[in-house]
Structure 1
Amino acid sequence: MPQTILITGTSRGLGRELAIQAQQRGDRVIATMRAPHASPALPPEIEVLPLEVTKTDAHAELARQMEGVAIDLLVCSAGVFPGRGGLREAQCTELDWFIGLMTNVAGPYFAVRALLPNLRLAGRAKVAIISSAMGSSENAAGGSYIYRASKAGAVNLARNLAVELAPLGIAVGAYHPGWVRTDMGTGAAPVDLNHSATGLLERFAELSSETSGIFEDYLGNPIPF
């Protein structure tokens, strides 16, 4: 059955592929990105709206544009990966930490808060937050501190949202897309973008009130947190 899906971070990579695949299977897709006019065009059937995920006023404007629209699935895919090295990484500045945490943790929080009326209109809606296995404390390997901390925060956010939104019938899950060959993942990544997006859409379809709070990868394997 076709759904209405809103996906953040669709200018490139995983978010873009999720939007294309969801539209191709018949869903109504609303794709958001920071600068639509400066990004590669998506298929014309996909609705594109601007959204800077770190700004509350941008989310308020998105909510205004979406007023009265029921959202069956909200996918928080916008993400950044600053500072890949260790303690001496030059890119781990105050600004890098701010951008990393605001984009990867606060961004999903702002989106859920702004679009909660739309999720409630859909009845048993779902929220999917794209995290990473690098956010698993049990699998700590050092380095990439901003990304690891922010993705751990994203999982924590998903699990707490799952608790708060349970009485409203809204399920929330956190997902690891795999190490995907994108600009962010680099060409060394082993997972094909198409394969990751297909698996994630299958995982989102399986998300329910019974599994809300889950943290798993695109193949359905649970990830320790």
Structure 2
Amino acid sequence: MNILITGANRGIGAELLRTAKAQGHTTYGTTRASDDDTLLPLDVRDPASFMALADRLSGTPLDLVVCNAGVYLDKGLEVDSLTDTTLWADTFATNVTGVYLTAMAFQANLATSAAPKIAIISSQMGSSERAGGNSPIYRASKAAALNLGRNLAVALADRNVAVGIYHPGWVQTDMGGSAASINTQDSATGLLARFDALSMDTSGCFEMWNGDAMPF
């Protein structure tokens, strides 16, 4: 497959990029700010940045776009201290609007594929059935990304674009912390298998990295 992965400079995104390359896929990774010149510049909060990258990739076929870029700005903050509206705005700009802009920006590239796919990295923290009371900004943004993915699955069905939403697991990254239960390689390998299995028959799914169904 020809795969584009946003937020590929670290964590799960970097491991997805590395693992996909090792599996023989043609890969393109993006980053907002990095000294790695093998990654393409993209700020998922900025429509002009998408226009620039879409122009750069014009005519480049893509089979899969992975919406991975995300932030967790209220990690560790007390629930009654989240009155700074920039935390809310910046989180939703990246985790929700950024997903929408990513999905829309590369429709022409996906149209070249016989089986185009969009994968959205959400989280179990976006599940209403698993509300934990902490990190409400992040949880709300991931719930919105889940809802957005379900709506995109319907909206893009007539274009034959399959959309899947995924929980990558509690992963040992800067975001997940060292106490997390799985490493990035296990998560990335599992996620890539889920992306490969994604089809129009399963479009709109919300799954764990290992294929288990997630509660909405």
TM tier, shorter chain?
Answer: over 0.9
1:190 CA drift (Å)? 1.0
1:186 CA drift (Å)? 0.8
| 1:131 counterpart residue number | 122
| 1:88 counterpart residue number | 80
Deviations 1:101-158 (A, max 9, x none): 0100011100111111111111320000000000000111111011100000111111
Deviations 1:20-55 (A, max 9, x none): 000111111000001232xxx48xxxx521000100
Unaligned runs of 5+ in 2: none
Contact persistence 1:36–1:49 (CA under 8 A): no
2: CA distance, partners of 1:163 / 1:95:
31
Contact persistence 1:7–1:74 (CA under 8 A): yes
Q: 2:181 aligns with which of 190, 199, 208?
A: 190
Amino acid at match of 1:6: L
2: CA distance, partners of 1:67 / 1:109:
19
Change (3 A) 1:96 1:190: same
2: CA distance, partners of 1:141 / 1:35:
32
Contact persistence 1:32–1:49 (CA under 8 A): yes
| 2:2 counterpart residue number | 4
2: CA distance, partners of 1:127 / 1:218:
15
1:197 CA drift (Å)? 0.6
| 1:202 counterpart residue number | 193
Indicate the RMSD between aligned Cα atoms, in angstroms. Answer: 1.2
Amino acid at match of 1:177: P
1:99 CA drift (Å)? 1.0
Q: Number of residue pairs matched?
A: 215
SS state of the match for residue 36, structure 1? coil
Residues 1:172 and 2:163 are matched in the alignment: yes
Contact persistence 1:86–1:145 (CA under 8 A): no
Q: 1:57 aligns with which of 48, 57, 63?
A: 48
In terms of mean alpha carbon deviation, does 124-133 or 184-193 score higher?
Answer: 184-193
- Report sequence identity in percent: 47
1: CA distance, partners of 2:211 / 2:63:
21
